[in-house]
Amino acid sequence: MTERQPWWKGAVVYQIYPRSFCDSNGDGVGDLGGIARHLDHLEWLGVDALWLSPIYPSPMVDLGYDVADFCDVDPVFGDLADFDLLLEEAHRRGIKVLMDWVANHTSDQHPWFLDSRSSRSSRRRNWYFWRDGKPDGSPPNNWSSAFGGGAWTWDDRSGQWYLHLFFPEQPDLDWSNLEVRDAMQRVLRFWLDRGVDGFRADVVNLIGKPPGLPDVAPELAGRSLIDLWVDIWDRTDTYRYLQEVRRTVGSYPGDRVVVGEIHTRDMGRLVDFYERGGLPLVFNFALQSQDWVPADWRRVLEQAEAVFRSPGTWPTLVLSNHDIRRIRTRFEGSEARARVAAVILLTLRGTAFIYQGDELGMVDGVGEAYAADPTGRLGCRAPVPWDMRPLRGWGAQPWLPWAPEADHCNVAARRAQPSSILHLYRELLHLRRSSHPLKHGSWRILETPSAILGYERRAGAETLVVYANFGDEDATVGGPHNGAPLLVSSSGTNPSTWDGTLAATSAVVLAV
């Protein structure tokens, strides 16, 4: 008998960036009604779960990652009744729903912060980090914010500085304060009681701050949070706080899950978040920064396999999200490469994440409107085009212009064409769902010519082999290749035999 596995092991989570998914009420901003309208499509595609980027009331300085109320829905997206309906409809189709939970900070318009800011004697003053400056009038320490500039903002009225590791409109919560942790527990319970299946936890590695908030060495003062994390924020406290979160989430039935967003250049450090923090899942972003070089992918995959062999860990597979350039854009606009990347993403060991629109082969939006974001992350947030009509299935012109190619790179056109990348994603998702080796099997690298990445997935007597040719020329593999391909990245039909030759920039999945 095979051991019962939680639903999220080997599952595929589809990330929805609600503003850009679909607008149902004619204001040009995507909303919950727009998501509900397309649940049949997502069921057809075969995803196991949705992760919704923040839908909470927000001044939208960081497009929702500045939360003004953790227990409500911003009117631009709908209301709680719309959310309940969406959840019910998703569950009816067997699709789970994960909320984005922004733990590290709130909006500066959140009532907690308004209260905290109102005076030095406010009841919630110590929910955030308020400090006096240095004697020379400079900020309390030399930390930088992730979005540029210093990490402290001066508040004239109360005459102190407050800490923000992101925009000044995103003050950091002080998690060492039990009241803050209790308040966040209530937030988690609010959504768990409504029936959500878990959370994607925003930058949770930053919630434990070093006591005294000391300066970093002068040469590190302008460095990014990612560089500094190991030195500054790798805190026992963080793991303790996360254990509390895990206990709450784990006390609900149904294998509810938390996936932590942790940026680090040292993949090995992610293990602590599973083993010490108790998180079921942690994003591993290493693959999304790889160039189109098979040896690099091989190195990262072998490293991940070594890291996530540790008991209590389980790998995640991530190639893109709402913060970075899209897969196709990163690989010089090549759809063939995006197809190969899809095959790899969805045949590896782990829980896979697809960012909306990658399954259409979308490229990033370009032009003036996209340059408006000081953090340069709007390109991948171009609206999803649903059909060929002028408004492409939206209620009005969307808040951002269409990305290039929207006339054929849209859902209706891709669905109508059996050889499209959308059908490739669907095939992969259905193959993964029905394949024990792909969902739960072991992973082992195969010896291949240098242009090819090859690996094996095995469970019991069943073995699947994946070969991906990164090169611009046909290439032949010598390893196991008897048996018919289950899937070929470059065509809509799978040949009945295979002679061991891979076309340029293509991938194949074989049962051997």
State how far the Cα of 399 lies from the Cα of 57, in Å rounded to an integer. Answer: 18
Q: What angle do CA 113, 115, 120 make, to 5 degrees?
A: 100
State how far the Cα of 405 lies from the Cα of 22, in Å rounded to an integer. Answer: 18
Q: Which amino acid does the sequence have at 184?
A: M
State how far the Cα of 346 lies from the Cα of 341, in Å rounded to an integer. Answer: 9
Q: Residue 166 or residue 355: which is nearer to ligand NOJ going by CB?
A: 166
Interface residue with ligand NOJ among 8, 128, 166, 239 (CB under 6 A) is: 166
Q: Residue 17 or residue 467: which is nearer to ligand NOJ going by CB?
A: 17
Within 33-72, the residues that bind ligand NOJ by CB under 6 A are 62, 65
Q: How far is the CB of 56 from ligand NOJ (least distance, A)?
A: 12
Print burial letters for 317-330: b (CB count within 10 Å at least 16), e (below 16).
Answer: bbbbbbbbbbbbbb
Phi, psi dihedral angles at 153 (to 5 degrees): -125, 140
359 token code pair: 């399954």
Q: How far is the CB of 98 from ligand NOJ (least distance, A)?
A: 14
Q: Residue 48 or residue 62: which is nearer to ligand NOJ going by CB?
A: 62
Q: Residue 143 or residue 166: which is nearer to ligand NOJ going by CB?
A: 166
Asked if residue 55 lies in contact with residue 83, where contact means CB atoms within 8 angstroms, the answer is: yes
- Give me the catalytic one of 23, 62, 202, 359: 202
Residues 6+ apart with CB under 8 A from 216: 141, 142, 143, 223, 228, 231, 232
Interface residue with ligand NOJ among 13, 35, 203, 348 (CB under 6 A) is: 203
202 binds ligand NOJ (CB under 6 A): yes
Q: How far is the CB of 72 from ligand NOJ (least distance, A)?
A: 18
447 is catalytic: no
Q: How far is the CB of 167 from ligand NOJ (least distance, A)?
A: 8
Within 288-327, the residues that bind ligand NOJ by CB under 6 A are 322-323
Residues 6+ apart with CB under 8 A from 395: 23, 24, 25, 26, 27, 28, 34
Residues 6+ apart with CB under 8 A from 376: none
| DSSP 3-state of 127 | helix
Within 235-264, the residues that bind ligand NOJ by CB under 6 A are 261
- Select from 282, 351, 347 the least CA-distant residue to 317: 351
Asked if residue 445 lies in contact with residue 302, where contact means CB atoms within 8 angstroms, the answer is: yes
Q: Residue 227 or residue 462: which is nearer to ligand NOJ going by CB?
A: 227
| DSSP 3-state of 18 | helix
Q: Residue 19 or residue 457: which is nearer to ligand NOJ going by CB?
A: 19
State how far the Cα of 57 lies from the Cα of 195, in Å rounded to an integer. Answer: 20
Asked if residue 52 lies in contact with residue 391, where contact means CB atoms within 8 angstroms, the answer is: no
188 token code pair: 């988690």
202 is catalytic: yes
Q: How many residues bind ligand NOJ (CB under 6 A)?
A: 9
Q: How far is the CB of 353 from ligand NOJ (least distance, A)?
A: 12
Asked if residue 451 lies in contact with residue 294, where contact means CB atoms within 8 angstroms, the answer is: yes
Q: Residue 322 or residue 414: which is nearer to ligand NOJ going by CB?
A: 322
Asked if residue 108 lies in contact with residue 130, where contact means CB atoms within 8 angstroms, the answer is: no
Q: How far is the CB of 146 from ligand NOJ (least distance, A)?
A: 7
Q: How far is the CB of 202 from ligand NOJ (least distance, A)?
A: 5
Within 96-115, the residues that bind ligand NOJ by CB under 6 A are 102
Q: Residue 102 or residue 344: which is nearer to ligand NOJ going by CB?
A: 102
- Give me the catalytic one of 261, 272, 364, 456: 261
Q: How far is the CB of 220 from ligand NOJ (least distance, A)?
A: 21
453 binds ligand NOJ (CB under 6 A): no
Within 260-289, the residues that bind ligand NOJ by CB under 6 A are 261
Active site residues: 202, 261
> Using CB under 6 A as the criterion, which residues of the chain lie in contact with ligand NOJ when the complex forms?
62, 65, 102, 166, 202-203, 261, 322-323
